């Protein structure tokens, strides 16, 4: 969630929003959306938010591939292509591990299915497809931009293009809509540590809500302090 907030802040910078708002104000604006969403505790209630985030992400991926392939076709490959670069190996490992951020949702998603016995068949096909897509997408991006590729590839696209601006906005909202799903398993674990297995409502439930809001405020503080070192943070 912290990486998401830093990512959104960088997108805001590329859109020129930080000419009018500071990083702290951008993060505070994110919290206005994230805190209400983080109070949702059931996976099935996040269905619309997840579908919306997926649609926005697919739109962004299509546009990024379009620009990347177009750059290769018109300008050739990017500069400084190397099969292995030791000085950035740490960043690659951190980013590769970051792709497994959704692993904690395997069991909750299965439990939320109407026919959970079909889960693993779908999982195998989806996992293979995602691995192939990651390999294709990263290869195209690196070949297109070479050693000038940014840690956030959207920042390599022409910032003044209206379609690129739409992609930035779409990705920002996709990250906001997807953040509660990523937070859900960890949030429940922390609640279990502090409050135990009690399911009392009223003041007890509002105490849990306050805890979740405080956690996201802490995420916001860390994202402000660590935003300038996003590459190292991910690695």
**Which residue, among 160, 218, 170, 171, has the nearest Cα to 190 in the 3D structure?**
218
Looking at per-residue pLDDT, the higher value among 215 and 200 belongs to 215
Task: Give the pLDDT mean for 58-79.
Answer: 87
Q: Kindly state the percentage of the chain with pLDDT values over 90.
A: 1
Spell out the domain ranges in the chain.
Answer: 1-233
Q: How far apart are CA 53 and CA 41, in angstroms?
A: 18
Q: Above 80 in pLDDT, residue 196?
A: no
Q: Chain-wide mean pLDDT for the chain?
A: 81
* Best-predicted range by mean pLDDT (85-94, 101-110, 166-175): 166-175
Looking at per-residue pLDDT, the higher value among 65 and 201 belongs to 65
**Can you give the pLDDT at residue 231?**
61
Confidence of residue 39 (pLDDT cuts 50, 70, 90): confident
Task: Give the pLDDT mean for 104-114.
Answer: 72
What are the tens digits of pLDDT across the range 128-182? 988 888 888 888 888 888 888 877 788 788 878 888 888 888 888 888 888 887 7
| Burial (0-12, 13-18, 19+ Cβ within 10 Å), 119 | middle
Task: Give the pLDDT mean for 103-115.
Answer: 73
Q: How far apart are CA 49 and CA 80, in angstroms?
A: 40
**Can you give the pLDDT at residue 139?**
87
**Which residue, among 75, 169, 102, 223, has the nearest Cα to 67 in the 3D structure?**
75
Task: Give the pLDDT mean for 56-69.
Answer: 87
Task: Give the pLDDT mean for 22-32.
Answer: 88
Q: How far apart are CA 31 and CA 216, in angstroms?
A: 7
- Model-level pTM? 0.71
Q: Above 70 in pLDDT, residue 229?
A: no
Pair 38, 216: CB distance under 8 Å: yes
């Amino acid at each position: 969630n912290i990486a998401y907030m830093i990512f959104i802040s960088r997108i805001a910078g590329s859109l020129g929003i930080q000419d009018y708002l500071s990083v702290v104000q951008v993060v505070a604006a994110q919290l206005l959306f994230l805190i209400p969403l983080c109070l949702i505790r059931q996976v099935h209630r996040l269905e619309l938010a997840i579908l919306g985030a997926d649609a926005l992400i697919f739109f962004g991926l299509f546009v990024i591939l379009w620009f990347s392939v177009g750059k290769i076709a018109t300008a050739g490959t990017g500069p400084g292509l190397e099969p292995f670069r030791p000085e950035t190996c740490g960043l690659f490992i951190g980013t590769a591990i970051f792709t497994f951020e959704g692993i904690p949702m395997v069991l909750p998603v299965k439990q939320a299915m109407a026919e959970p016995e079909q889960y693993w068949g779908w999982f195998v096909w989806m996992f293979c497809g995602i691995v192939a897509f990651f390999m294709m997408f990263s290869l195209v991006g690196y070949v297109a931009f070479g050693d000038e590729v940014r840690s956030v590839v959207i920042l390599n696209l022409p910032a003044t293009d209206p379609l690129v601006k739409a992609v930035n906005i779409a990705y920002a909202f996709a990250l906001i809509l997807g953040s509660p799903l990523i937070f859900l398993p960890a949030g429940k674990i922390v609640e279990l540590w502090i409050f135990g297995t009690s399911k009392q409502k009223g003041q007890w439930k509002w105490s849990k809500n306050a805890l979740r809001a405080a956690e996201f405020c802490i995420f916001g503080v860390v994202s402000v302090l660590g935003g300038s070192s996003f590459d190292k943070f991910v690695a």
